[in-house]
Structure 1
Amino acid sequence: MTIDEDLLAEGEPEREFTPGIAARMARKAVGGALLLRDPGNRLVFVEPIYKPTLEIPGGVAEENESPLAACRREVHEELGLDLPIGRLLVVDWTPAHGIWRDGLTFVFDGGVLDAGAVDRLRPGDPELRAILPMTLDEAEPRLKPSLARRLRVAVAAAQSGEGPIHTEFGRPVRAAL
């Protein structure tokens, strides 16, 4: 089934019991990102032109776009690749900070590309200055601390088969049952 068919099956949208309540509810930014690596444990980082820190491929979902679809779209735009997107590794909540609202980032497993393929990657998006294959240790000075923490968890989940792992600001959350 498609999402449109699923929405039809849901029936008529519910009416607001208290008019205006839906408009007052918080809205979160949601994004999808890809952990893509090579056999030498280098990760694929992108260097955006609009910020001083590195990121991994991916980005913010557009309205009514799932995190997986956003990841797939952004990876195609940024790297020019149509990769099979693997399993979900991490769901990370980030608090509001400065001009940015709080949000959720879904990190998916992009698998392992051969080192030559990684080295041949070139930016496919004018918002990117470069694509940089680096180990996490090499990249860490150029990452926000929360992204470094999130990536350490994602790499461990990819290697162990564990996950998905819930993190908050890159720190694993162990929910009490």
Structure 2
Amino acid sequence: MEPEMFSDDFALEGEPEREFHPGIAGRMAHKTVASGALIRDPDGRILFVVPNYKPYLDLPGGIVETGEPPSLGCRREVREEVGLDLPIHRLLVVDWTPGRGPWSDQVQFVFDGGVIPAGTPLRPQDDELTGVRWEYLESADVRPSLRRRLELAMRAVETGATLHAEFGHLLSGA
């Protein structure tokens, strides 16, 4: 959905709420929201980006902007990071990760970016990335939590289920 398509929904919601006790909303926790795309090639390798600001590979994607839906944030970030304007398919995994070091805790969405032909031209974003890599998950140099999240995403591709995780661990009953 495009954000402007929400205008009718906003109208149905009525006037924004006022705080009965000013300042309460400002004291509430604020989580970061991130979206990434699981993009594969016909051989089953995953497209990873090589960030210049952290030591491990990551999925194409990034932080969702204020007022931006996670799916559109994913599409925008993929376009900005690797130059692909792909349709973002269904949601595969929602995962919460705790804050560590300079990063706040996050709710991370992994969307299905589909399978693209081998040799598709990619344009890594110069100011954030040093390159891209096609890797099989088993051999990719990723953090253990991302490996767990991607294992769940691959399971979601196979089963058609959307999975809910915390720190890459499937919640019981999911």
Measure how far apart 1:126 and its partner are.
Answer: 2.5
Whole-Å separation in 2 of the counterparts to 1:81 and 1:30: 21
Whole-Å separation in 2 of the counterparts to 1:161 and 1:10: 33
User: Quick one: which of 68, 84, 87 aligns to 1:84?
Assistant: 87
1:103-125, Cα deviation, whole Å (9 max, x unpaired): 101100011112222xx323134
Maintained 8 Å contact 1:79/1:125: no
Whole-Å separation in 2 of the counterparts to 1:165 and 1:125: 33
Q: How do residues 16-27 of structure 1 correspond to structure 2 at under 5 angstroms?
A: 16-27=19-30
Count of residue correspondences: 171
Match of 1:47, SS?
strand
With normalisation by structure 1, the TM-score equals 0.91
Maintained 8 Å contact 2:84/2:122: no
Match of 1:2, SS?
helix
Q: Does 1:123 align with 2:119?
A: no
With normalisation by structure 2, the TM-score equals 0.93
Match of 1:116, SS?
coil
Q: How do residues 27-106 of structure 1 correspond to structure 2 at under 5 angstroms?
A: 27-106=30-109
Measure how far apart 1:7 and its partner are.
Answer: 1.4
1:97-149, Cα deviation, whole Å (9 max, x unpaired): 222211101100011112222xx32313421111100100110xx21110010
Maintained 8 Å contact 1:165/1:172: yes
- The runs of at least 4 consecutive aligned structure 1 residues that moved more than 6 Å come to none
Inter-CA distance 72–20: structure 2 relative to 1 (3 Å threshold) = same
- The runs of 5 or more residues in structure 2 that have no matched partner are none
Match of 2:119, SS?
helix
Give the letter for the 2:21 counterpart. Answer: T
Q: How do residues 90-169 of structure 1 correspond to structure 2 at under 5 angstroms?
A: 90-117=93-120, 120-139=121-140, 142-162=141-161, 164-169=162-167
Identity %: 54
Give the letter for the 2:151 counterpart. Answer: R
Match of 1:137, SS?
helix
User: Quick one: which of 159, 170, 173 aligns to 1:172?
Assistant: 170
